Structure 1
Amino acid sequence: MRIDDDRLSGSSGPGAARGATGRTRRIAPTSKDVARVAGVSQSTVSYVMSGKRPISERTRRLVLDAIEELTYEPHAGARALAGRRTNVIGLMVPFHTADAASGLMAFAEEIAVVARAHDHDVLMLTAAEGPSGLARVERRAMCDAVIAMEIATEDPRAELARELTMPVILIGVPARHEGLHCVDFDFESAAQLLVDELADAGCREVAVLGWAQERAALGINYIPRFRERAAARAAERGVRLRWVSTSHDRAGVETYLDAVLGAGEPPGLLALHSPHDLGAALQQRGLVPGRDLDLVSLCTDDDAEVQPVPPTAVSPQPRDVSRLAMTWLLELLDNGNDTPAELRLVEARLTRRGSVRRPG
């Protein structure tokens, strides 16, 4: 149960707790408590208070009786917003590193474009606040809904999202995503497409230029999803996967190539980021993808097309993911937060560009 410091009092009785100073503090009931006593959903409690949707008189009376029984009082922001909206979408984007910030801007730009097309503004929350950031924007009634990005496999924001009355869309898939509105790119299918492309070209070994160690350490959910599917598919196709985690700058790419290129036939190369430095490093060594070796990448179409040899690639489609998230969020705002929670994925597609040698 959440303790709202604004509602603490010195009275004792049911629902009271004694603090470290010996004073008795009153634990404020929440709308979740009202829903439990009334036997309705938390969103129904919200609709009764806001008047945003028609509610039967019987259900309305159950909620009002529960409010009176618990002496529940919505926060001032909720009372002020009854019957109206802020037309603001919160976007929680924790920029952990400069590289991460650059990669996430396409998502943020598209979300802002869609928001403005529907007369909404975007409030960006860039600090790595975790669940406290979500709780703060709802408590202060700063926005109508939130999109949270950079979801970790074990993400405390996901657990809090289950309890909030405002709609929350997660771009990412936590381990326990049941009951949550989640949108993401299909990284599992992307892994299978990329492994299959190299296996079909006759590669029996694939050297993967993986995500930087500091990024993997954040627990971002798509990394293990991709790795597990890639490993499973490689085993099915009789391909040996060799993972190399290094920095994504030129020095890191050179370390990767030194580690995987030796005498004999080079392995297939799979780059899990923009291949700019990789393409330049191969060119400096006199190696041409599609002629001397096979290269595939997980990168956007824009990044692929500007390379000396544009690689065959699967794009994570950040703008498509953002549009899907915003479309769903606007539906939730218009039709109510009772829309069934589910996982919606953007389909993975492989675009061939000639960086893989075809048999024969």
Structure 2
Amino acid sequence: MRIDDDGVGRGTTVAKTPTSADVAREAGVSQSTVSYVMSGKRPISEKTRQRVEDAIARLTYEPHAGARALAGHRTSTIAVVMPLRQASGAQRLMTFVEEITLAARARDHDVLLVTADEGPAGLRRVAGRSLCDAVVVMEVGSSDERVRLARSLALPVVFVGIPDDREGIHCLDFDFAGAGELLVAELAGLGHDTVDVLGWGDDVVAQDFNYVPRFAEGARRAAAAHGVELRWHEPDDERGREAVLDRVLGGARARSAAPGLVLTAAIPETLRALSERGLRPGRDVDVVALATDAEGEAYGLTAVPTEPRDVSRRVMERVFALVDRHGPSAGGAELVPARIVRRGSTRQA
């Protein structure tokens, strides 16, 4: 190959980006057939569809997302609405996002992150501009103002959470009420007549996240069923946790009883505070927790795992069923059941 003075190689071939017309020629079909295969707007025989898909693979054809949106086709994008600033549970939320992204990519879809700070305006914007095929809304409030808007949108919206007003919307979440019930029942079964819950701090409670009252409802239900006194604490910071632990441990010593603790947040910090006081879970104190599987295994906790990956997979199954118009259009709520995994942080009954 000769290089001229202008630095351009003469006789070289510049690779051309394949177009839908190239795909049509390669597959031996019309360009409109290629369009119908990609959009799903008209039924195409399986044999013809396979020819087109094989041609797309051979040519490594990538349709332009903006052009497809303008043509009324799918955007191959799923929007995920999540808080920009996370009061707690950042790792849990990122596990959700990771699993949602994996499920989207498995279906050749991209993920568009939308900040929850925009409120209903964010939903209205992505729907009005046809930026996505569906929306997943995370960190749902008990009284969530986005619910009413979701009912009026033409594209599917799936809530990861169970708001109080759930009529006609699609929502899916972990069974937090069942988790609260299991954890309190576990301590009651170990002989505790008093259970102390170190719950979420005011920073989380103030945001009205729906899982907080649901967990509390289950815990209270179990306490009533087993005749257990339930004491709820909401420490905001390290100093607050220290003060709560001092009160709980002091009261337990006065009753000559080992304390029973339920942890929902700041798990490593609370375990460290117990260790600094010379207390070992499973020997001096019974500790159960609402945690991810990874946290439970890392700290040897008897725990109810929150199943973020299972929830995310089910959410995306619902999303694509709606996008493909195979899912129930009337809405509905689904809960991933709670289960308890026993480890060394509790004594044997």
TM range (shorter): 0.7 to 0.9
1:276 matched to 2:264? The reply is no
Give distance in 2, aligned partners of 1:79 and 1:239: 58
> 1:128 Cα deviation (Å)?
1.1
CA distance, structure 2, for counterparts of residue 52 and residue 183 of structure 1? 29
After the TM superposition, which residues 17-96 of structure 1 pair with which residues of structure 2 at under 5 Å, given as runs?
52=41, 80-82=70-72, 84-96=73-85
Deviation at 1:338, TM superposition (A): 5.3
Q: 1:210–1:325: structure 2 CA closer, same or farther, 3 Å change rule?
A: same
The CA deviation string for residues 144-173 of structure 1, in whole angstroms up to 9 with x for no partner, is: 100001111111111111110100000001
In 2: Cα distance, 1:335 partner to 1:156 partner: 26
Q: 2:175 aligns with which of 165, 168, 186?
A: 186
- The corresponding residue for 2:3 is none
Candidates 230, 234, 247, aligned match of 1:241: 230
Q: Distance in 1 between matches of 2:192 and 2:278?
A: 21
Contact 2:302–2:345 (Cα < 8 Å) also in 1: yes
Of 203, 213, 223 in structure 2, the residue corresponding to residue 214 of structure 1 is 203
Asked if 1:129 corresponds to 2:147, the answer is no
1:259 maps to amino acid: R
TM-score (norm 2): 0.77
- Cα drift, residue 77 of structure 1: 10
Alignment of 1:172-183 (within 5 A): 172-183=161-172
Contact kept, 8 Å, 1:250 with 1:281, in 2: the verdict is no
CA distance in 1, matches of 2:141, 2:150: 14
State the superposition RMSD in angstroms.
Answer: 2.1
Aligned positions, number: 285
Q: 1:312 aligns with which of 278, 302, 318?
A: 302
Deviation string 1:270-312 (CA, Å, 9 cap, x unpaired) is 00125211111111211111111111000011112222xx110
Residues 1:199 and 2:180 aligned together: no
Q: Is the 8 A contact 1:87 1:143 kept in 2?
A: yes
Cα distance in 2 for residues equivalent to 1:335 and 1:301: 34
Partner of 2:88, secondary structure, is: helix
Match of 1:30 in 2: none
3-state secondary structure, aligned to 1:169: strand
Alignment partner, residue 346 of structure 2: 356
* 1:162 aligned partner: 151
On the 8 A contact 1:95/1:101 being kept in 2, the answer is no
Letter in 1 for 2:150: A
* SS of equivalent to 1:326: helix
Whether the 8 Å CA contact 1:171–1:184 is kept in 2: the answer is: yes
Q: Which amino acid aligns with 1:335?
A: R
Q: Following the alignment from structure 2 to structure 1, what is the Cα–Cα distance between the partners of residues 40 and 257?
A: 69
Give the structure 1 partner of residue 34 of structure 2.
Answer: none
Residue-by-residue CA offset, 1:93-119 (whole Å, 9 max, x unaligned) = 013435343331111111011111110
What code does the residue aligned with 1:317 have?
E
Match of residue 23 from structure 1: none
Q: Is the 8 A contact 2:205 2:212 kept in 1?
A: yes
- The one of 257, 260, 265 equivalent to 2:245 is 257
Query: Aligned partners of 2:69 and 2:95: how far apart in 1?
Result: 36
Give the aligned residue type for 2:109. Answer: H
Residue 288 in 1 paired to residue 287 in 2?
no
Aligned to 1:142: 131
User: Offset of 1:252 from its aligned partner?
Assistant: 3.7
- TM-score between the two structures when normalised by the length of structure 1: 0.75
Indicate which of 327, 333, 336 corresponds to 1:343: 333
Residue from 104, 107, 130 that aligns with 1:118? 107
Q: Secondary structure at the match of 2:306?
A: coil
State the alpha-carbon separation in 2 of the partners of residues 256 and 335 from structure 1: 51
User: Given that residues 190 and 348 in structure 2 are in contact (C-alpha distance below 8 angstroms), is that contact kept between their aligned partners in structure 1?
Assistant: yes
Once residues 89 and 273 of structure 2 are traced to their aligned partners in structure 1, the CA distance between those partners, rounded to angstroms, is 22
Deviations 1:216-269 (A, max 9, x none): 01111111111112112101100001111012x543432221121112323210
Q: Structure 1 unaligned runs (5+)? A: 1-49, 55-75
* Cα distance in structure 2, aligned partners of 1:341 and 1:190: 24
Name the amino acid aligned to 1:281: A
The equivalent residue for 1:228 is: 217
Letter in 2 for 1:280: R
2:262 aligned partner, one-letter code: L
State which structure, 1 or 2, has the greater radius of gyration over its C-alpha atoms.
Answer: 2
Partner AA of 1:164 in structure 2:
L
Residues 79 and 134 in structure 2, CA contact (< 8 A), matched pair in contact too: yes
Q: Partner residue of 2:88? A: 99
Deviation at 1:335, TM superposition (A): 2.0
Q: Which segments of structure 1 move beyond 6 Å, counting only runs of 4 or more?
A: 76-79
Q: Match of 1:97, SS?
A: coil
**CA–CA distance in 2 between the matches of 1:53 and 1:91?**
29
SS, match of residue 128 in structure 1: helix
Query: Structure 1 residues 127, 77: CA separation in 2 closer, same or farther (over 3 Å shift)?
Result: farther
Distance across 1 between alignment mates of 2:149 and 2:194 = 43
User: Among 258, 266, 289, which residue is 2:258 paired with?
Assistant: 266
Q: Secondary structure at the match of 1:355?
A: coil
